[in-house]
Amino acid sequence: MSLTVPTPHINAQKGDFAKTVLMPGDPLRAKYIAETYLENVKQVTSVRNVLGFTGTYKGKEVSVMASGMGIPSISIYSYELFEGYGVENIIRVGTAGAMNKDLKIGDIVVGMGACTNSAVIKESGLKGFAPIADYNLLHTLCLVAEKHETKVKVGNLFSSDLFYGSGEDFVQKWSSVGTLAVEMEAAGLYLNAAKLGKKALAICTISDSLVTGEATTSEQRQTSFNEMMILALETAISL
């Protein structure tokens, strides 16, 4: 599908986005990242209050834009960024619920792969496809994490279409095969990147635990996961 800009859901002009975009789910988290870490910031899109910004981090151009919640939403925005605006790399910076008893609130997990219960794989005509991160992005992030002495856990995420009602055996079943955490976007992002020849990676901070029942507040999720944000930004300028 050929796209012209502005696209149906992004009112930025051509050239407004950097080659690498950080993508949190929450528009206010996108705003927080832009205002806290970027210089020379310009808001480039605001359709439906899904905010996007471009600025510089340590002298290099980086963009940040919200994805909204769920695979359908991130699939729309990532497709338009990749196909309409020439974005090459999208790094999701999100939150996830721990399914591993060893993960604590605030730990950082990196999605080497993303299992899913979504119909997005089947509807794309690629039944059986296994969505995975781009190796270069993953390798770069791991090198950055080591340099900054930031601990990360790399493994499988589960991208769920359900926030409530996954079933009583959900955690046990998926944690038994080593799945680290559940979130709602990575599989859709990875699928789009694979189909379009682009690069994607999902980094998530553990915001709650499906094992212990611990949870953070919405305000904490919006503004407090600075270690993950810095890690993503340092990765972006290392590409």
**Active site positions, annotated:** 208
What's the CA gap between 41 and 33, in Å, rounded? 10
What's the CA gap between 103 and 208, in Å, rounded? 10
Give strand pairing partners of 42: 54
What is the per-residue DSSP string for 94-120?
EEEEE-STT--TT-EEEEEEEEE--TH
Q: State the SS3 of 182-215.
A: EECCHHHHHHHHHHHCCEEEEEEEEEEECCCCCE
Q: What share of the chain is helix, strand, coil (3-state, %, to 5)?
A: 35, 30, 40
**Amino acid identity, position 58:** K
**Degrees to nearest 5, angle at CA 200 with 162 and 28:** 60
Do residues 38 and 64 make contact, with C-beta atoms less than 8 angstroms apart? yes
Do residues 222 and 30 make contact, with C-beta atoms less than 8 angstroms apart? no
